[in-house]
């Protein structure tokens, strides 16, 4: 019988490159329980993923949840015990830097090979979502880079901040903005604060205000509204459920960036926010995931849009 501390590897073989990267990102940053470490290998004409977990039950749960998103990849998976190692450290050393617009995201192990400057942000792979290797975070960074060049946002909310990467990028791009960043998970907020200090963006240095909050139920979030920019990189179901609360925090002509949405889910999420008076101005797609950018209309329309109007608003797409 295996002990709860025994290490297991979830190996997925014979994958195409894009399928391998999508599944690896899901195992490392999206699916709970997250893997202790994930590695991707080129194996002849195909690719292989090794995801490491503590305990067989944890690995089996991750495989079950992967099956609900990537059934084909999960069908090629196997589980087996491995010799214990410091898999988190090994995973960090294997993650390459990510370039997303003006931002370079890397771990401390890569500081010797990336450009130094205010747009380099150090975020360690670990316990909180957000290293820019996942398409949802990457898509948000690209969108925020572009938006910050167009508009000098002054009051910003980062809902579901995870590692704090988006709030830190916004602070670098918009040094005069007030930024509130929240997460329902207390450990994620601790990690975000650690990342802020690591990048010289702690509270004493004028960095974002990180806090633990369930959705928008927090006095500081409410008192700081309305926001001219809100970004929420969470998941489709919570976004739909929180849509009225999110919309209520927006100022006139403000911008809303949503991610954590699979492309097939984007139409439903879009329709919900359209019904609340927003206009979809851009839909970006990255490796199976959508990033949606909305603008608040000056005068909200009647929520009974024509079907054809909703479809037309949804059409803009950028890769």
pLDDT (tens digit per residue) in 260-303: 999 999 999 999 999 999 999 999 999 889 999 999 986 544 44
* Architecture, CATH, for domain 7-90: 2-Layer Sandwich (3.30)
SS (H, E, C) 283-317: EEEECCEEEEEEEECCCCCCCCCCHHHHHHHHCCC
Q: Do domains 7-90 and 128-314 have the same CATH topology?
A: no
Q: Tens of pLDDT along 62-109?
A: 888 888 888 888 888 888 887 555 545 555 555 678 889 999 888 777
Query: What would the pLDDT profile of 176-186 be if each residue is shown by its tens digit?
Result: 999 999 999 99
CB-CB contact of 203 with 194 (8 Å): no
The CATH T-level fold of domain 128-314 is Rossmann fold (3.40.50)
pLDDT tens for each residue of 141-173: 999 999 999 999 999 999 999 999 999 999 999
Contact 259/139 with Cβ under 8 angstroms?
Answer: yes
Task: Please state the rounded mean pLDDT for residues 309-316.
Answer: 38
Place of tokens 């975070």: 137
Domain boundaries, the chain: 7-90, 128-314
């Amino acid at each position: 019988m295996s002990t709860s501390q025994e290490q297991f590897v979830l190996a997925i073989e014979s994958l195409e490159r894009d399928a391998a990267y999508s599944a690896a990102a899901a195992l490392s940053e999206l699916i709970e329980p997250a893997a202790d470490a994930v590695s991707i290998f080129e194996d002849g004409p195909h690719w292989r993923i090794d995801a490491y977990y503590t305990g067989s039950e944890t690995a089996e749960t991750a495989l079950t949840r992967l099956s609900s998103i990537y059934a084909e990849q999960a069908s090629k998976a196997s589980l087996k015990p491995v010799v214990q190692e410091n898999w988190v450290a090994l995973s960090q050393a294997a993650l390459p830097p990510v370039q997303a617009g003006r931002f370079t995201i890397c771990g401390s192990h890569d500081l010797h090979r990336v450009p130094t400057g205010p747009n380099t942000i150090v975020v360690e792979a670990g316990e909180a979502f957000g290293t820019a290797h996942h398409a949802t975070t990457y898509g948000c960074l690209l969108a925020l880079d572009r938006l910050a060049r167009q508009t000098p946002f002054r009051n910003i909310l980062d809902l579901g901040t995870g590692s704090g990467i988006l709030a830190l990028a916004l602070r670098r791009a918009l040094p005069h903005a007030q930024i509130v960043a929240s997460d329902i998970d207390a450990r994620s907020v601790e990690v975000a604060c650690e990342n802020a200090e690591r990048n010289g963006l702690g509270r004493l240095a004028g960095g974002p205000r990180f806090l633990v909050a369930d959705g928008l139920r927090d006095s500081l979030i409410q008192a700081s509204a309305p926001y001219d920019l809100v970004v929420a990189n969470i998941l489709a179901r919570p976004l739909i459920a929180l849509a009225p609360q999110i919309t209520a925090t927006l100022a006139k002509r403000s911008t809303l960036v949503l991610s954590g949405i699979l492309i097939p889910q984007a139409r439903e999420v879009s329709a919900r926010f359209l019904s609340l008076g927003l206009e979809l101005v851009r839909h970006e797609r990255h490796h199976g995931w959508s990033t949606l950018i909305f603008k608040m209309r000056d005068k909200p329309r009647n929520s009974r849009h024509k079907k054809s109007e909703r479809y037309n608003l949804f059409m803009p797409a950028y890769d």
